[in-house]
Amino acid sequence: MEMARVIVDVPSKGTNRPFDYLIPESMRDWIEVGSRVGVPFGHRTVQGFVVSLHDKPEMDISKMKPIQELLDLVPPLPPDLVELASWMSEKYACHEMTALQAMIPSALKGKAERYVSVSEESDLDEEEESDLLLIPKTREEEQWERIIVGFIRQNGPVRMEQLSSRYPEQAGIIKSLIRRGVLQETQNIRDKVQKKTLKTVILNVSENETEQVLQSFSAKARRQKEVLQFLLEMNFPMTLKEVMSVLQVTAGTVKALEEKGYVKIEEVEVFRDPYKGRKFKPTSPLPLTKEQQTVFDSITRGLNTLNYGAYLLHGVTGSGKTEIYLQTIERCLSLGRQAIVMVPEISLTPQMVERFKGRFGSRVAVLHSRLSGGERYDEWRKIREGKVQVAIGARSAVFAPFTNLGLIIMDEEHETSYKQEESPKYHARDVAIKRAHQHGAVVILGSATPSLESYYAARSQSNSEFAPILLEMHSRALGSNLPEVHIIDMRNELRDGNRSMFSRKLHQGIAARLERGEQMVLLLNRRGYSTFVMCRTCGYVASCPECDISLTYHQKSNNMRCHYCGYAAPAPAICPDCGSEHIRYFGTGTQRVEEELAKLFPGIRVIRMDVDTTTEKGSHERLLNQFREKKADVLLGTQMVAKGLDFPDVTLVGVITADSALNLPDFRAAEKTFQLLTQVAGRAGRHHLPGEVFIQSYTPDHYSIIHASRHDYSNFVREELKHRMALSYPPYCRLILVTFSHEKLPLVVRMAENFSTELQAKARKLGWYGGLDRLTSAALEVLGPVASPIPRIKNRYRFQCMIKCRGDIDAVELTKQVASEIENSVHDAHFQISIDVDPQMLM
């Protein structure tokens, strides 16, 4: 193959297509689909990915430039992922490069580094007269030229940044020298993270010399002597950092020793292992219950066919889904194939990792967002190089570069965090299904509360791409019963004079648990709220000057920050509007709950988990461990306490306010509430002690609350589907959210309107238009334009249109087309249109 088509790392609509390059002879054997290359592009060198290879040119060969460099010996992406990226760019209306980039660790996002060296042919003194005439030089300029050329000649190829920081005023002269060919510029792609090395101090004197050497130190070089003695004692190479911190010496001291030749300082490569030193207790398969066995057998039959298959595993909390995952993975591996396990980021706890490492040991790679760039890269390489067969991680683990994939598991498949909110705005579930199709693999979607989309697809078997087979588990693996759930009408509490945030029943429940020494989980459902600063006198709320959103208060630094643009300001002591001192920090409320608990139950030990206490690295894990070790009676927190935690001694779960998420303007509000209540109720009585759940609510008759209290998923779904159908919401239609943004509000509004008009006109022409009546007629509807839920971010105004359409028409393509027309009609590069296919967050 002589030429390659390359997607270049210049994400813009003008460059969102492959460019053709010649493959130099020397690279012919190495360049493959998926190779990462450095290519000349315009006046610079950029990184790119080879997406196909060709023999015959499709364009004027003289216009083609050769690939400049091959960046990896093994292509970072196997061909199926390259194909997947192309599919994603279509489905989610994103740039192909953005999709490719999402698949590789950021360590492999190289940027060009510019070097300048002195040309061999050209010489400053022998420049032709004509050049001199064209570029008249002052004496000063001539002097600068000599200085700069001299500097570069002495130092070899010099980095451009180094040059411009050394001679900041002389950019013009450097440019001119390059243009005249006195200097020449080369560009190379350099990876962000390289193999990790540590500066290590190595002793460079033999043992019999040591006495003599130590004697030779003058009294003044006391520190140096200490370092040397220390190294002798340790008799082992120490890292420079260690030496410095143990002996409290500076790097200069060690450097001095190096200059005397007594030690060597070397860069020693280390392999990062985030789980280094941790022992994982090996576990073996547990006996399956009858229900588990049935499910396992079904999936195994699917696995054995080596064909695509999808299963929606609906199992109540505690029904033992994880054990099924483990045993199907085992089976998958025995077939010589690999497996991916996805769990929501928040559930990727050490306990979860432990279960997988315990069963599969070193055959597991863990892709965690908390890993450093380098650690992530190393875990990823283990997968790419076939050193592991199982990858476990959050959303992006779906791209684990296995070549013989047999199984993809998505735990808690209803979780919204599987949808990426930034471009590429993909849903890991769709991607998993696509990848499984590519590989002839099996997908397992597991949840106690499956998303309506998945459940509907399984029930109706209408969506041929997906159509999972429904598998259900109704009982808990350990034989415990689902906890008894009490709904408490808080309106009655108020009527009866109880103004506390705890109902009388919950109060009694807590008191009883304290007496018996059992543990409790308390959930404060405040989704969509965060800590904000408000004046109680005039109602002033501190908000960001650039974005129309209130600032979040951070206790630790006593300042306020904007979630969207990073703007920060100190928290005011008095109201900037009215001067009142009654300024208050309204939080998630967990703090207030904690205070009230302490008042009502003196001596109660509470662990509070919310944004304030879990921002620090590892704090989440630490708090959970403390609770596990029974260092507290109560685990109090927001949504994060509801997820997949398994504490044997928790016998009470209390939901302080069940309905705050219900009132959000989101058609999934009921579904989210049901899921949250069911999940958190599942935390109680998982083992031998029976559990009890108290749900406090001001709308106790809402069907999401009633059905959650009865652990009745199927009746909830029946009712919710009725609503969705009546209002034409997913799964009865598809949504596309189009957002327009620019600094100037009128432009945004006008363009959003143009878009809406134009899209409707085009749809009408295609016969798609005509109201969404129950899918019987062709259907596409444009809602809006309206201001986005956050109408201004980073000083850019935002308007949006929501498109509702039937699942079987390609409205994405039409949307892209119209969006691009609108974009082209605006002569301002700052104007942006963002397309979100199947949006999750509607607020």
Partner DNA sequence: AGCACGCCGACT
Partner DNA sequence: GTCGGCGTGCTC
- On the 0-12 / 13-18 / 19+ scale of CB atoms within 10 A, 59 is exposed
Nearer to DNA, 612 or 823 (CB): 823
Nearer to DNA, 11 or 79 (CB): 11
Compute the least distance from the CB of residue 57 to DNA, in Å.
9
- Residue 832 neighbours by CB distance under 10 Å: 15
Compute the least distance from the CB of residue 111 to DNA, in Å.
9
> In 3D, which of 111, 120, 842 has the Cα closest to residue 527?
842
User: What is the number of alpha carbons within 13 Å of residue 796 lying toward its C-beta?
Assistant: 15
Tell me the sheet residues that pair with 84.
Answer: none
Compute the least distance from the CB of residue 128 to DNA, in Å.
20
- Unique residue bearing structure tokens 């054995």: 304
Instruction: Please report the beta strands in 593-733, taking only residues with DSSP state E, as ranges in sequence order.
Output: 606-609, 634-637, 650-655, 692-697
Q: Are 224 and 217 in contact (CB under 8 A)?
A: yes
Secondary structure string (H, E, C) spanning 340-394: EEECCHHHCCHHHHHHHHHHHHHHEEEECCCCCHHHHHHHHHHHHCCCCCEEEEC
Rounded CA Rg of the chain: 32
Compute the least distance from the CB of residue 48 to DNA, in Å.
10
Nearer to DNA, 100 or 640 (CB): 100
Nearer to DNA, 63 or 499 (CB): 63
Torsion of CA 143, 147, 153, 158, to 10 degrees: -130
The helix (H) or strand (E) run that includes residue 621 is helix 619-628
Q: CA separation (Å) from 605 to 593, 634, 681, 686? A: 13, 6, 21, 22
Question: How far apart are the C-alpha atoms of 186 and 156, rounded to whole Å?
Answer: 12
Question: How far apart are the C-alpha atoms of 664 and 676, rounded to whole Å?
Answer: 14
Nearer to DNA, 214 or 826 (CB): 826
Question: How far apart are the C-alpha atoms of 37 and 6, rounded to whole Å?
Answer: 8
Compute the least distance from the CB of residue 20 to DNA, in Å.
3
Question: How far apart are the C-alpha atoms of 634 and 651, rounded to whole Å?
Answer: 11
Name the H helices within 167-269. Answer: 171-179, 207-216, 222-234, 240-247, 251-260
Q: Do strands 442-447 and 309-315 pair parallel, antiparallel, or not at all (unpaired)?
A: parallel
Q: Which residues contact 450 (CB under 8 A, 6 or more apart)?
A: 312, 314, 413, 414, 458, 713
Nearer to DNA, 59 or 574 (CB): 59
Compute the least distance from the CB of residue 38 to DNA, in Å.
12
Q: What is the DSSP letter of 507?
A: H
Nearer to DNA, 40 or 791 (CB): 40
Assigned token pair, 552: 């979040």
- Unique residue bearing structure tokens 């209390």: 654
Nearer to DNA, 61 or 727 (CB): 61
Q: Do strands 197-203 and 238-239 pair parallel, antiparallel, or not at all (unpaired)?
A: antiparallel
Question: How far apart are the C-alpha atoms of 536 and 577, rounded to whole Å?
Answer: 12
Compute the least distance from the CB of residue 668 to DNA, in Å.
33
The helix (H) or strand (E) run that includes residue 50 is strand 44-54
Compute the least distance from the CB of residue 212 to DNA, in Å.
57
- Indicate the annotated binding residues: 535, 538, 544, 547, 562, 565, 575, 578
Compute the least distance from the CB of residue 188 to DNA, in Å.
14
Q: CA separation (Å) from 614 to 182, 231, 291, 619? A: 57, 40, 38, 5
Q: Which residues contact 820 (CB under 8 A, 6 or more apart)?
A: 13
- Indicate the annotated binding residues for Zn(2+): 535, 538, 544, 547, 562, 565, 575, 578
Classify 511 as helix, strand or coil: helix
Name the H helices within 306-349. Answer: 321-334
**DSSP class per residue in 392-431:** EESGGGGG---SSEEEEEEETTT-GGGB-SSSS--BHHHH
Compute the least distance from the CB of residue 691 to DNA, in Å.
54
Question: How far apart are the C-alpha atoms of 701 and 707, rounded to whole Å?
Answer: 10
Residues found near DNA in the complex (CB under 7 A):
10-12, 14-15, 19-22, 39-44, 59, 63-65, 827, 829
Compute the least distance from the CB of residue 59 to DNA, in Å.
6
Compute the least distance from the CB of residue 832 to DNA, in Å.
9
Compute the least distance from the CB of residue 796 to DNA, in Å.
13
Torsion of CA 358, 360, 365, 371, to 10 degrees: 0
Nearer to DNA, 158 or 803 (CB): 158
Nearer to DNA, 504 or 830 (CB): 830
Q: Are 642 and 523 in contact (CB under 8 A)?
A: yes
Nearer to DNA, 12 or 212 (CB): 12
Compute the least distance from the CB of residue 187 to DNA, in Å.
9
Nearer to DNA, 362 or 820 (CB): 820
Nearer to DNA, 279 or 827 (CB): 827
Nearer to DNA, 63 or 765 (CB): 63
Q: CA separation (Å) from 655 to 311, 695, 716, 731? A: 32, 5, 19, 29
Compute the least distance from the CB of residue 174 to DNA, in Å.
12
- Angle 437-84-272 (CA atoms, 0-180°, nearest 5)? 105
Q: CA separation (Å) from 580 to 259, 536, 537, 550, 559? A: 65, 8, 7, 19, 19
